[in-house]
Amino acid sequence: MSPTVLAGRRALVTGGTRGIGRAIALALAAAGAEVTVTWTHTAGDAERMRAELAAGGDRHEVSRCDVASREAVADFFRSRTGDRAFEILVNNAAVTRDGHLMMLSDDAWNDVLATNLTGPFLCLRPALRGMIARGFGRIVNVVSPAGIMGKAGAASYAASKGGMIALTRSLAAEVAGFGITVNALCPGVVDTAMTAGIAKEARDAMTARIPAGRLGRPEEIAHAALFLVLPHAAYITGATLAVDGGLVTA
Amino acid sequence: MTMDRETLKQKLKEILVSGLRLQDTDPASIADDQPIFVEGLGLDSIDALELVVLIEEHFGIAIPDEEVGKSAFASIAALAEYIGAERDRAG
């Protein structure tokens, strides 16, 4: 991708220090955007990411911000208005606290919804004001096949992602007139630190269900995210783009 | 910058007309107590989002949520009152 296609655009990627978020942030930076990534629990990854982004210039930023915290998000956005407002927002930060619903604690349920669904809401609210002021915005919400198909043992995670798909469609219609697009990006099973921890047998069984016959690579997800935020993608909004090797449609 | 309520109301009418591109409306023809949305000037809730941003840009005053927006956008007079009060509070 040309290093100028997103020149002068400011992008925020939440949960952007590892895995899919990291790949998206690096792709946006490579396309010329000024990238800010946030992290919550991944101090080591944040340091590595800071070095990695710094190698591409000094316009980038790595900042701690728990999107589940109303106060932290308000603090984070307080200084990022006007010229410092974001034109691109990738809501990627997410957590899982799996368990059978009947046995799920209030905390486990609330934590997942707070980060995965309320977190994007808290970030979108201030970010939209800057985008409306500029008449340009690109929002990408990272969701999951679980949000479409459901997933046994992960009802809270699936509900949060299904909620994000509905939020995406609703918001897309609300702000389409302002030059803002809102899309959901739905990665299938991707080869990250999270999936690397899965036992070989389970991993093989998972791979067997994917028509493409392999896991996805973070760079492949990032490529789709980049496509959605390009100025030329102005007429794509409210969509859920699956990048899953055929998993959901199989 | 201080601005009395009358000047503020005139300024708001101009912002409304130019910011929301109401080409056929003369700012002077907008009554102070005329409802801004739907029944009055015929603007809809999407225009309200743009107006929130315009007010923030011009006056540095945030309209944080729907509830505040509803009362502030009741009329030009109400909006001037809200902005004036917020400025006094900040100032």
pLDDT tens digits, one per residue of A13-72: 999 999 999 999 999 999 999 999 999 999 999 999 999 999 988 899 999 999 999 999
Q: Answer yes or no: is A70 within a domain.
A: yes
- The answer to whether A179 touches A135, Cβ cutoff 8 Å, is yes
ipTM > 0.90 (yes/no): no
Lowest mean pLDDT among A103-112, A159-168, B67-76: B67-76
Among residues A157, A160, A165, A243, the one annotated as catalytic is A157
Residue A158: which domain range?
10-242
pTM for this predicted structure: 0.91
The Cα–Cα gap between A38 and A76 comes to: 10
Q: How far does the CA of residue B53 sit from the closest CA of chain A (Å)?
A: 6
Size of interface A-B (CB pairs under 8 A): 16
In order of their start, the domains of chain B are: 5-90 (1.10.1200.10)
The Cα–Cα gap between B51 and B66 comes to: 13
Query: How far from the centroid of its chain's Cα atoms is residue A143's Cα?
Result: 7
pLDDT at position B66, please? Answer: 86
Strand-by-strand arrangement of the A240-243 sheet? A61-64, A34-39, A10-13, A88-91, A137-142, A180-187, A240-243
Residue of chain A nearest B63, judged by CA positions? A129
Q: How far does the CA of residue A76 sit from the closest CA of chain B (Å)?
A: 16
**Of A128, A133, A175, which has the smallest distance from its Cβ to B57's Cβ?**
A133
Q: Answer yes or no: is A2 within a domain.
A: no
pLDDT tens digits, one per residue of B1-51: 567 899 999 999 999 999 988 889 999 999 999 988 877 676 787 888 999
Q: How far does the CA of residue A108 sit from the closest CA of chain B (Å)?
A: 29
Residue of chain B nearest A174, judged by CA positions? B46
CATH number of the structural domain spanning residue A85: 3.40.50.720
Lowest mean pLDDT among A139-148, A189-198, B82-91: A189-198
Structural domains in chain A (count): 1
- The answer to whether A234 touches A179, Cβ cutoff 8 Å, is yes
* Partner A contacted by B49 (CB < 8 A): yes
- The answer to whether A12 touches A127, Cβ cutoff 8 Å, is yes
Q: Answer yes or no: is A3 within a domain.
A: no
Q: Give the contacts of A199 (CB within 8 A, at least 6 positions apart).
A: none
Helices then strands, each counted (H, E), chain A: 10, 7
pLDDT at position B2, please? Answer: 61
Q: Does A235 qualify as catalytic in the annotation? A: no
